Amino acid sequence: MNTLPTSRPVLQQLLLITLLAVSNLSWGFSYTLEITGQQIQQKVDTLMPLQKKKLFFTVTLSNARVELTEGQQPISLFSEITLEAPNNIRATGRATISGNLSYNAQQGAFYLHNPVIRQLEIDQLDPGLLPTVKQLAQNAASQTLAKRPVYQLDDQDLKQKLAKTMLKSIRVENQLIKAELSAF
């Protein structure tokens, strides 16, 4: 009758070989995706212009320029803003919108999470109207940017398709978004 070796050194060797095989398997399905600012810019361009109407006011955000920075809020959009109101009132200016990236594994998509108007300048506008314009611009950014992806993984790319089920980490480094994805 044949029996398996049960000596302690043999079992330890088998355990070590099994652990190495499993760790190599999971490492093999790990994938770091690098997303450039230009890739995000192309998607943001398709989302523009963003427009919000309330009562007699219309606020439009357009021509957003994407900037990636290391830190708390890694994505910023520098946008033109236009206000239209009754009596042919039209004012233009600039807005800075910042936010974090979030990842939806089911969709394999990255979103601008919690977009916030950080800075707003409107030329030739009554300062009393600035809070209303800021709120309208904030609503336009929140309602669109948080719901439409700024980057979508490619289901045609086998590595991306396998890795899209889990995001391990996301960071901005050297003007690139680095998303570490893993199937395990």
141 phi and psi angles, rounded to 5 deg: -65, -45
133 phi and psi angles, rounded to 5 deg: -65, -40
Q: What percent of the chain has pLDDT over 70?
A: 81
Q: Which element (helix H / strand E) includes 46?
A: helix 37-47
Q: Which is higher by pLDDT, 148 or 73?
A: 148
Give yes or no for residue 20 having a pLDDT over 50: no
**Residue ranges of domains in the chain, CATH in brackets:** 34-152 (3.15.10.40)
Task: Kindly indicate the confidence band of residue 80, based on its pLDDT and cuts at 50, 70 and 90.
Answer: very high
Give the pLDDT score at 65.
96
Which of 106-110, 174-178, 180-184 comes out lowest in average pLDDT?
A: 180-184
The mean pLDDT of 140-146, rounded to a whole number, is 85
What SS3 state is found at 158? Answer: helix
> How do residues 40-60 score in pLDDT, each as one tens digit?
999 999 989 988 888 888 989
Give the pLDDT score at 43.
92
The mean pLDDT of 88-96, rounded to a whole number, is 92
| Among 122, 49, 48, CA closest to 92 | 122
Give the pLDDT score at 143.
85
| Among 30, 31, 35, 29, CA closest to 149 | 35
Give yes or no for residue 149 having a pLDDT over 80: yes
The mean pLDDT of 4-13, rounded to a whole number, is 61
Q: For CA atoms 76, 33, 43, 58, give the dihedral sign.
A: negative
Q: Tell the residue number behind the tokens 């999470």, with chain if given.
A: 113
74 phi and psi angles, rounded to 5 deg: -75, -15
Q: Tell the residue number behind the tokens 């049960």, with chain if given.
A: 6
Q: Decide: 51 and 137 in contact? Cβ < 8 Å.
A: no
Give the pLDDT score at 8.
66
Give yes or no for residue 23 having a pLDDT over 50: no
What single DSSP character describes residue 157?
A: S
